[in-house]
Structure 1
């Protein structure tokens, strides 16, 4: 299925889609908080989706820990949590369609063969006609630019042919690539607004292209500034960012609000998470989010 199960489009549907390769950290909190507030302030729905398509990278117990942490921090989502691991039929159907239409092809290139091409696929397998067995699936990209207006970062443009090249939609090991899964799932869930980190800004043109090919609607996008640690690394799971602790919920929610440019009142010091979220929904202003793609962690303390 390539369309939303909802017959009537909703005014606003947002989502938070963590990957269970580790526990939630402060960067995750900022993404969850911004997407939640943006949805609730618009009177919309907020969904939770577990992006569990890479079992080798999944940390045991991470899914349950993510759900429990969100609950401890006061978040409430609408409906049942969706797991991407339950959506393989939809992904396979889309890949089959793209192959049948000549828009995708089998690629047997190894990482070593692609060294030195700086992430731009050189097209070695584009017209080779390889068997699908023991091969990745790549999507042909057009020689054109895709652009969109981000609600925070402004105009963003990327030439798929010159800057990206044909990209993988299914890996050689059979795992579905993020670009395809996120496009299909956002459409199926009727997501109208995507709020996420600026590290995914340059993924968006590929997703616009997939939406065009599959006849799916384009959501609005808001890319949040990333939190950069003192050593220059993005705050994230790869660099041992500390997991969110239940007893720190209130102070970290306030800190996250300040990182998003909001101005929580001093009366919220010591308030419960639910009280902080209630105030934050009523006073949410996405126009205050810093436009810079990154923020130094030291500035937020």
Structure 2
């Protein structure tokens, strides 16, 4: 039989699996009697863990939410994930809180996990965020409105500096490219829109409640892959690619429109024309620039530079 402290930790780990356990199941897992399980559940309650019990054939034990946060039990992978996530940061206003939490977790990490975290940190290059971090209170207010199904009102500044006042039924918050975005139904435009949360200024109070809609395109991930570039990057390119759309699907971001069986139109957004040149070059398929002229000019300049490089001799 396990010693009591170790058995309590094992019991707590089972209860944290978000399911109901019968006393018999727990007893079999831990190799003890159901009477011992009842006694151990009582000890967990004394420590602040809200273990609920239901009687009857379909009853059992379940770990619920309490008034205060009790100590949490993390397995090895969960502990490493928490440390790496706290190192990453990304939300302004939480730097000090994240540091305090990180210090507490790292203080109790066993040696084997310290080595895993150190190896991961030594192998990963963490580049600084390119854009401004969003304020924590903004994320909190938006997520609360999503949960309560309350319309948001806010002032918004687009990537080209245009200001507008929006009324939006919030659907989801999305973390993408070191920035936070709000996907929602713009009631004035009767369409789905994606907003950078660092560019919006919330107006209070929130608007009326609403019924959540089905996600755009029936799949929020697919919608974001198709449209996100419009909000993330200011430059737009349209190319005619001499390859079937089915051949490029899943390999590129942006919108693909079949022209015929052998060609398609590819519309994409980017932060620079050099990035577009690199991406289309990696595809290794013929293409034509339909717009804008600036992209064609940049490709001609790059072409001349590459041609000159091949004729150079020491």
Higher helix fraction (1 or 2): 2
Higher strand fraction (1 or 2): 2
Same-fold call, TM > 0.5? no
Q: Which one scores higher on RCO, CA 8 angstroms, separation ≥ 6?
A: 1
Normalising by structure 1, report the TM-score: 0.21
